[in-house]
Chains A and B, each alone.
Chain A
Amino acid sequence: AQRVTQPEKLLSVFKGAPVELKCNYSYSGSPELFWYVQYSRQRLQLLLRHISRESIKGFTADLNKGETSFHLKKPFAQEEDSAMYYCALMGYTGNQFYFGTGTSLTVIP
């Protein structure tokens, strides 16, 4: 089965501290993984995708096939990073996406 697990519902860090949001997946084959973010009163939007190997707003995420993980990291959290973060896995057909239950990040000033 294709599934995504985000073990932390809530995460609080102080401004300037490193942050890591965990994501584990189950998938047979080469997964395509994404992180989406939803800021307060805004629509859900793409933050980054693993295939692009990019850094967006200081966030990076590395695919670890051995640990079946795609954790989202940022070395120095900012207040504006406070949001809900969802990890998502694209299914075999390329049409379906499987989302984790989300992690609500709060950055404490």
Chain B
Amino acid sequence: DVKVTQSSRYLVKRTGEKVFLECVQDMDHENMFWYRQDPGLGLRLIYFSYDVKMKEKGDIPEGYSVSREKKERFSLILESASTNQTSMYLCASSFGGGNSPLHFGNGTRLTVT
């Protein structure tokens, strides 16, 4: 069974802090994704990566960056956290190619005060 692990379930950070959210998958998936999940807005794609050191912007990349140095790990970085980045962050992975579904982690609930 695919396992996508997000390092923290809950995080509380202060405005202006640099925040790292970590995600690891154990199924050798090519693709990895970061979404944020907000009530009424659904899931919005922040960034995704289809290979090591490769990244593509999603719909809402502003204020975020990502890093993928190893195939199994995909990090989301909030350069300077702001209160409007308070949200649930979901990491997901999938095999490359068509019709390969996403496998999600448990999510990280980030609160920026």
Residues of A within 8 A of B (CB): 6, 9, 32, 34, 36, 43-46, 49, 51, 86, 88, 90, 94-102
The answer to whether A86 touches B43 (Cβ under 8 A) is yes
B45, B105, B107: which contacts A96 (Cβ < 8 A)?
B45
* Known interface pairs A94-B96, A95-B48, A96-B48; A46-B40 also in contact (CB < 8 Å): no
- CB of B84 within 8 Å of the partner chain: no
The answer to whether A49 touches B99 (Cβ under 8 A) is yes
* Known interface pairs A9-B40, A86-B43, A101-B41; A95-B102 also in contact (CB < 8 Å): no
Q: Mark B85-113, 1 if CB is under 8 A from A, else 0.
A: 00000101010111111111111000000
The answer to whether B98 touches A102 (Cβ under 8 A) is no
